[in-house]
Structure 1
Amino acid sequence: MPALPTQDLQSAREPLPELRLRSIEEDDLDNCHRLSLRFKWPHRLDDWSFLIQMGQGYLLENTAPDASLPVVGSVVCTTYGQQYAVIGMLLVQAELQRRGLGRRLMQHAASQVNGRSLIVNATAAGMPLYKQLGFVQYDVLHQFQGASAQPVLVSLPPGERVRPMGKNDVTRLLELDAQATGMDRSRLLLALLDISEGVALDHDGEMLGFALVRRFGHGRVIGPVVAPDAERAKGLIAHWINTYSDSFIRIDVFESTGLPAWFDKLGLTCVDHVTRMCKGEPPVRDPGMQLFSIVNQALG
């Protein structure tokens, strides 16, 4: 029997349920969490709540009274200053994929950012859509994780040390992050400091970099990490690996930093890759400062 033409396959599908596109509210988070669990994404309910505090979320709601999964699609958009926005948590129920719903969510989110450049961390499944929408690749993120990281010793240059962060470091932390990312992420970082532990790279009282760690997903995530170079970034990351060597640890690092090969030796496994893409002008960072690991894939 000959294969059905594509248009006949489309018409043979079950009709789409009646869907409503609207903003995510606090009462929706349980259902958003249920949707992400279907994809085995590790986000806890608290992680979803933090995302919505930082950005604006949108959902596709199945309005049928007997819907087993009321939220069938989601996306979250977080703005950084007047120039940039990061889009994440683009999810569509598996049974409803390839029906234009992901495009609908993305286009709606993009229409709300007042012309800002858009950044996404694209999964392999999402890449075709993002390319069609005009996104261009500019880096790759490697996701490392595990519960049996090996203790690691990193030698820092003379006069430098890793120390706990204090309240007096906040202003400098915001400056360093802006240099490393080319974006104003002040609101995000101030909120992260309330739920994170932090260490600073110090040289005779001058803060040269920092690394945060917090609870996320199955355990703890290290990020963001900001430093002048890879060796100093290793020193910051090693502090948290050694501190929580008996815990589940995750870190997402950029391929361009050269760090992925180092993690291969530490007992952490690379479980995924996502592609950093931008639509519009990508951020321009200070060449003397670099972002080595991200907050998470939805926030950048």
Structure 2
Amino acid sequence: MSSSHPALDQLPIRRLTPEDVLACADLCEDRGWQREEHKWGLLLTAGTGYGIDDPSGKGLVTVCVVTSYGPGLAAIGMVLVSSRYARQGVGRRLMRHVIAEAGDTPLTLYATAFGQPLYEELGFADVGRAEMLNGHFTLTEPAPALPVRPATAEDLPAVLRLDNEIFGVDRTAMITRLPAFADQLRVAEQDGEITGFAALWPNMDTHVIGPLIARDAATAQALVASLAASSDRRLRTDVDTRHTALTTWLKANGLEQIAETTVMIRSLPDLPGDWRRRFAPLTVAAG
């Protein structure tokens, strides 16, 4: 079938920079997504963006972002193709380029039902699911009365140690950006030991809770309740569907499932770390 777009397979793939935030946001808007400029700023600073420019000068043809956590894992997110170039193979071409660039590094991503067949074709396997929950938090069902407080600079080494243990790879470069990126960063503490942490960050007209790392469901609930009390916006979080105690509690407090994504991985049998204490990602775009 002929195309009005010249030589799509010859258009150069380039690295994106923080100066591409608005073009990436425009591409989101083109596909009916929210612009999410704040999140794009983080991803293009902490990660590596890849894109193809539209030869007609109308922004970007396709983009994605890879957030590297060293040789043990990298996360792919924000895979988008302009509506003008949909179903012409440019997204597949960009993904193949990213996979080649990653070499032996295992890759993970959160797939929509629309994208999952392509990722399966490219060697990704289904290892779990996440519920996207959104709504005004009511605290109809109280959280356990566990000590939660704002994080301080002195907490950072302990937070990084806990995150490394639970996430399974080192994401220092991302976690150290949380105090500036998030509106709130809080820790749960018991007997002088940090047992969990969570951030609340602005995304358009909502506040996103993530990452959510906690010793158990009760600690996760206490962190969520503390963060929610500081916000008058709708809340969103993406919870591993195996954490039924947390999702049931969130739904009892006004949040509803608005989508479900499939967690996928390539070159490993499963994600590293301890899923039992990993309740929600920072964002599905970065794991």
> Does TM, scored on the shorter chain, surpass 0.5?
yes
Partners of 2:199 and 2:17 in 1: how far apart? 28
Counterpart of 2:34? 42
Partners of 2:241 and 2:77 in 1: how far apart? 20
Counterpart of 1:144? 133
What CA deviation, in whole Å up to 9, does each residue of 1:165-213 have, x standing for no partner?
1111111111111122111111100011222221111112111111111
Q: Does 1:109 align with 2:98?
A: yes
- Amino acid in structure 2 at the alignment position of 1:48: W
Structure with larger Rg: 1
- Amino acid in structure 1 at the alignment position of 2:181: I
Q: Does 1:123 align with 2:112?
A: yes
Partners of 2:216 and 2:121 in 1: how far apart? 35
Q: Does 1:248 align with 2:234?
A: yes
Q: CA deviation at 1:14?
A: 2.9
RMSD over aligned Cα atoms: 1.7
Q: Secondary structure of 2:129's partner?
A: strand
- Amino acid in structure 1 at the alignment position of 2:178: L
Partners of 2:194 and 2:67 in 1: how far apart? 28
Counterpart of 1:235? 222
What CA deviation, in whole Å up to 9, does each residue of 1:252-292 have, x standing for no partner?
111012132222211112111111000011333247x6111
Counterpart of 1:31? 23
Counterpart of 2:49? 57
Which runs of 5 or more residues in structure 2 are unaligned? Answer: none
Partners of 2:101 and 2:142 in 1: how far apart? 46
Q: Secondary structure of 1:40's partner?
A: coil
Superposed, 1:1-300 pairs within 5 Å as 11=1, 13-18=2-7, 19-64=11-56, 67=57, 69-146=58-135, 148-151=136-139, 152-156=141-145, 160-196=146-182, 197-244=184-231, 246-258=232-244, 259-281=246-268, 282-286=270-274, 290-300=277-287
Partners of 1:260 and 1:95 in 2: how far apart? 38
TM-score normalised over the length of structure 1: 0.88
Q: Secondary structure of 2:181's partner?
A: coil
Partners of 1:144 and 1:39 in 2: how far apart? 21
Q: Secondary structure of 2:108's partner?
A: strand
Number of aligned residue pairs: 280
Partners of 1:299 and 1:42 in 2: how far apart? 17
**In the alignment, is the contact (CA less than 8 A) between 2:38 and 2:202 conserved in 1?**
no
What CA deviation, in whole Å up to 9, does each residue of 1:1-39 have, x standing for no partner?
xxxxxxxxxx1x533334332111333322211001122
TM-score normalised over the length of structure 2: 0.92
